[in-house]
Amino acid sequence: MSEVRRRHLLTGDVTGRPEPVERVELHQVTLAPGQASGRHTHPGGVAGHVTEGRIVFELDGEPPRELGAGSAFFEPPGATVLRFDNLSPAEPATFVACYLLAGDQPLIEPLEG
């Protein structure tokens, strides 16, 4: 029998969460060609992994990063996400997101501006 192989992708700090984690929800998300997510936040934080396409990811106070298939990302609880946009005008981009939640927290909260 072959050995199980694991590759560490990221570690995210959730010590800033206002409540303890009560549940985890895992979602596959697809952005249409050229689709922008708009400014938003995740009350409980989110960790994810891009499976297809190219995404530009920018948190408030950090430089933008390009994510491609195999890239991992972390959005700390309450952090402002300035950009999480599909870079391709022709192809969709897909990622898997793991949301840490408590009570009736929403997965995502859109922000103005």
Strand ranges, E, within 32-78 = 40-41, 46-52, 54-59, 65-68, 72-75
Q: Is the model's pLDDT at 58 over the cut of 90?
A: yes
Q: Phi first, then psi: what are they for 8, rounded to 5°?
A: -70, 130
Give the mean model confidence (pLDDT) for residues 11-28.
Answer: 86
More confident residue, 63 or 12: 63
β-strand partners of 58: 83
* Every domain of the chain and the residues it spans: 25-110
The string of pLDDT tens digits covering residues 85-109 is 999 999 999 999 999 998 898 999 9
Class of the domain covering 25-110: mainly beta
